[in-house]
Chains A and B, each alone.
Chain A
């Protein structure tokens, strides 16, 4: 069933032709348009105006209803009327206590979910006293070495009551084990724990570039995590499929969605290949997208992504539960769009991007701090970022109607065009042998690096405008007087002291035995490594020791040298 009758469309076409001959022709002859051609950031051509004739080919079922297949119009039937999106600002720095204090401040300011950034040594499976951790401890996130650090991180926070997102990737299974161990230690019902692990290995190799092991063992670790979490902590999303980083490293909106869907397919094949039914884990797959600068393109991106995902799960994986086909997404505004020059402009950029995410139907959101082009955000910057979301949520009445732009001729056409282009990219990945193989070959990496360079050249030439940077430049603007979040120089020593205390206080023979058993299990593809990892963290094995034990078995990743 089409949206419009054929006679109505015929009528519109005739009237449009007449308009083009008369009013439009007259306008163009008196004043030409500013550009010879208009297109979206990802390259889709744009018409000057859209009519019903432009969406006459789209069946009504492609739109559907909110909370129903194919989910174009939203993930849930009541959307923000039933529950507003979660304000989830990520934070992490210094020792666990420092981050814990920031959490308490943000909850008091009105944040409704927690999210943790970890420092680079923790992400890469290194203890704070490892020589490779030099200068990095507690810098871009919180330092975690043992289960006790996770306990300190969430001190005084009821984990049955607030959802927690952990931005942890290569070492995700260890930090998850620590989280479960802390919850068990405190006597929580594990079935009540809610939250999300980022744990998306393939996007690490192509975008965020934090890795420990070769590609295939990393995907196996994710498989183990998904299968274990489905039974042990059924309300935790074991993965956040992170298109955000694909965009951050240079990808356009089509690459962001197509590549992350290619990774989704690879993970689903891995888990179903191990014997788990798609409907037993797909409802807990979650996504993380960027909300970037091209406003309408981004809104259509969210809508197209929901439709593509629903079709992949229904058609390719034969899912039967609607929850398996429902794409839920956390959104972050675009860090790449922030400028150091006239940094207060970043507030406006972020507010507009956040509005786009809401009109696109996000489930939770992080709005960037205005000072993030300098360093990790200050408390004041985070407060403004939270206020930005509260103003959109509570002051401007954009939450009463679901998918308010749905049915717009332009929005529906662009959603459809983006979907078509995403399918083309997915077909290409299939034809070339699938995501895992292409990650190993560096195919995605090359595509994204090319895209990043093309974007740079557009900014460099002035074709892509950055206000204050390559347009409306204020020569008099001096270097910003910005108060920057201070780094705690003592934090490394405190982590090292605590590591030494743990290593002397624990049963070292038992730790060695558990690590040996874990390494043996890693040698075969059959075992699930989570139960043994939980045992090891409870025995106070450190994150670095656990990751090192598997490095002995699997080796490390050698990066394909792509520039």
Chain B
């Protein structure tokens, strides 16, 4: 349990991503008023060290601001770190903004302090994977690679 991320659908382990598509692009985002950015910054470096292109939003971003940044930066994945306990309403709103912007092809990966009992609500909001707080670097990287490998890039 501690070394597995949860994904909404079973993902195909065989990478089929177009190798010419360039590096995976990730927006590392902080949602709402949560100031804890240690984890978000560590994750940004892990993904960068793994060869992904990473954009960090900085703090205090609303769901609509995060979606606008994700569209503008043409990212494959939004990675949100939340430790403020307000993940349910904020991910619900993030999902709504993504659909409204017709950008719900962008994967959403959640991390931070998220109790298991809240996972179902996050799946309903359009979250594609949840990474536990004690995850190793490898798990974080493979979670993202597997999401993209399973569907290909849009």
A binds B: yes
> Which residues of A are at the interface with B, using a C-beta cutoff of 8 A?
120-121, 123-124, 126, 132-136, 139-140, 204, 208-210, 248-250, 339-341, 373-376, 449, 452-453, 456-457, 460, 466, 468-470, 473, 477-480, 482, 484, 487, 559, 561-563
Q: Which A residues are in CB contact (< 8 Å) with B89? A: 134-135
B3 to chain A, nearest CB (A): 8
Residue pair B113, A373 in contact (C-beta under 8 Å): yes
Binds A, one of B55-63, B71-79, B98-106: B55-63
Judge whether B121 is part of the interface by a CB distance below 8 angstroms: no
Q: List 27 A-B contacts (CB under 8 A).
A: A124-B60, A126-B33, A132-B33, A133-B33, A134-B32, A134-B89, A134-B93, A135-B93, A136-B32, A136-B86, A140-B85, A209-B59, A210-B35, A248-B38, A340-B132, A449-B41, A453-B42, A456-B42, A456-B137, A457-B137, A468-B2, A469-B134, A473-B2, A479-B1, A482-B115, A563-B41, A563-B48
Judge whether B37 is part of the interface by a CB distance below 8 angstroms: yes
Closest to B34 in A: A120
- The docked-state distance in angstroms from the alpha carbon of A480 to that of B115 is 9
Given A452-B38, A456-B137, output 15 extra A-B contacts at Cβ < 8 Å.
A120-B32, A134-B62, A209-B37, A209-B59, A249-B37, A250-B38, A452-B42, A456-B46, A468-B2, A469-B2, A470-B136, A479-B116, A480-B116, A482-B115, A484-B117
Q: Known contacts A132-B33, A139-B86: does B38 contact A563 (CB below 8 Å)? A: no
B115 to chain A, nearest CB (A): 5
Q: Which B residues are in CB contact (< 8 Å) with A210? A: 33, 35
Residue pair A339, B42 in contact (C-beta under 8 Å): no
> Which residues of B are at the interface with A, using a C-beta cutoff of 8 A?
1-3, 32-38, 41-42, 44-46, 48, 54, 56, 58-60, 62, 84-86, 88-90, 93, 113, 115-117, 132-134, 136-137
Closest to A469 in B: B134
- The docked-state distance in angstroms from the alpha carbon of A60 to that of B38 is 41
- The docked-state distance in angstroms from the alpha carbon of A457 to that of B138 is 11
Residue pair A132, B41 in contact (C-beta under 8 Å): no
Residue pair A453, B32 in contact (C-beta under 8 Å): no
A131 to chain B, nearest CB (A): 8
- The docked-state distance in angstroms from the alpha carbon of A204 to that of B93 is 28
Majority SS at the chain A contact face = loop
Q: Which of B1, B37, B85 contacts A139, CB < 8 Å? A: B85
Counting chain B CB atoms within 10 Å of each CB, which of A120, A478, A482 scores highest? A120
Q: Which A residues are in CB contact (< 8 Å) with B136? A: 460, 470
- The docked-state distance in angstroms from the alpha carbon of A187 to that of B148 is 65
Residue pair A487, B85 in contact (C-beta under 8 Å): yes
Residue pair A120, B33 in contact (C-beta under 8 Å): yes
Q: Which B residues are in CB contact (< 8 Å) with A484? A: 115, 117
- The docked-state distance in angstroms from the alpha carbon of A452 to that of B62 is 26
- The docked-state distance in angstroms from the alpha carbon of A479 to that of B130 is 14
Residue pair A561, B2 in contact (C-beta under 8 Å): no
Q: Which A residues are in CB contact (< 8 Å) with B85? A: 139-140, 375-376, 487
Counting chain A CB atoms within 10 Å of each CB, which of B48, B88, B134 scores highest? B134
Residue pair B134, A339 in contact (C-beta under 8 Å): yes
Q: Known contacts A139-B84, A559-B59: does B93 contact A453 (CB below 8 Å)? A: no
Q: Which A residues are in CB contact (< 8 Å) with B35? A: 120, 204, 208-210
- The docked-state distance in angstroms from the alpha carbon of A479 to that of B117 is 10
Considering the complex of A and B, which 5 residue pairs feature the smallest CB-CB distances, nearest first? A209-B35, A135-B89, A120-B33, A135-B86, A341-B2
B100 to chain A, nearest CB (A): 16
Residue pair B115, A374 in contact (C-beta under 8 Å): yes
Residue pair A136, B134 in contact (C-beta under 8 Å): no
A200 to chain B, nearest CB (A): 14
A279 to chain B, nearest CB (A): 35
Residue pair B56, A373 in contact (C-beta under 8 Å): no
Q: Which of B44, B45, B58, B113 contacts A559, CB < 8 Å? A: B58
- The docked-state distance in angstroms from the alpha carbon of A252 to that of B129 is 32
Q: Which A residues are in CB contact (< 8 Å) with B3? A: 473
Q: Which B residues are in CB contact (< 8 Å) with A121? A: 33
Closest to B90 in A: A135
- The docked-state distance in angstroms from the alpha carbon of A562 to that of B42 is 11
A120 to chain B, nearest CB (A): 4
Residue pair B41, A340 in contact (C-beta under 8 Å): no
Closest to B30 in A: A209
A298 to chain B, nearest CB (A): 20
Q: Which of B1, B38, B46, B58 contacts A561, CB < 8 Å? A: B58
- The docked-state distance in angstroms from the alpha carbon of A462 to that of B135 is 13
A170 to chain B, nearest CB (A): 10
A413 to chain B, nearest CB (A): 32
Q: Which of B33, B62, B113 contacts A374, CB < 8 Å? A: B113
Q: Which B residues are in CB contact (< 8 Å) with A480? A: 116
Counting chain B CB atoms within 10 Å of each CB, which of A123, A210, A250 scores highest? A210
- The docked-state distance in angstroms from the alpha carbon of A544 to that of B1 is 43
Q: Which A residues are in CB contact (< 8 Å) with B32? A: 120, 134-136
Q: Which A residues are in CB contact (< 8 Å) with B42? A: 452-453, 456
Q: Which of B86, B90, B133 contacts A373, CB < 8 Å? A: B133
Residue pair B45, A340 in contact (C-beta under 8 Å): no
